[in-house]
Amino acid sequence: MVGLFVARHTPAHSSQVHRQKMVNSTQLKSDALMEQMKLHLSTDAGKELTKKIGLVYQINISPKKIGINEEAYVVDLKKGEVKKGQYEGGKPDATFSFTDDDFLKVATGKMNPQFAFMRGAMKIKGSLSAAQKFTPDIFPKPSRM
């Protein structure tokens, strides 16, 4: 049994690299919603939304705890685009941070954004007026599964 332990033991640095790779490969449930959002923005309803809102949001989504191992998405409602990664055009109008589960609840209308903010399930940076336009209405309605 000792031989097995020694064979599986790796230096701390190697272990940290392996753990980071595992985290980076973690699939967020929100990924599917963001893919739907890309398609939605190419429809007439999505183009109307882009004209109506005209703001850029960065959404940081963590698997379990806000601020840890976040994946960033840019929902650009000026250009009608959704991209994975940090916003590169200066500062977004508002930046939101969520856990994966809480983001899905807000985006699908199961949790009110104001309630999410008050209970700490959503963190906001940037323009408050831009943040107030961030409602479940900007996301496509999920199909029944």
What pLDDT, on a 0 to 100 scale, did the predictor assign at position 65? 95
Digit-coded pLDDT (tens) for 120-136: 999 999 999 999 999 98
Whether residue 12 is predicted with pLDDT greater than 90 in this model: the reply is no
Does some domain include residue 65?
yes
**Mean pLDDT estimate for the chain:** 84
pLDDT at 63 over 50: yes
- Domain membership of residue 55 (yes or no) is yes
Are the CB atoms for 75 and 82 separated by under 8 Å? yes
What domain range includes position 53? 28-138
Whether 100 is in a domain gets the answer yes
Alpha carbon 58 to its chain centroid, in Å, reads 8
> Is 96 within 8 Å of 128 (Cβ atoms)?
no
CATH number for the domain harbouring residue 104: 3.30.1050.10
The number of distinct structural domains making up the chain is 1
- 20 has pLDDT over 80: no
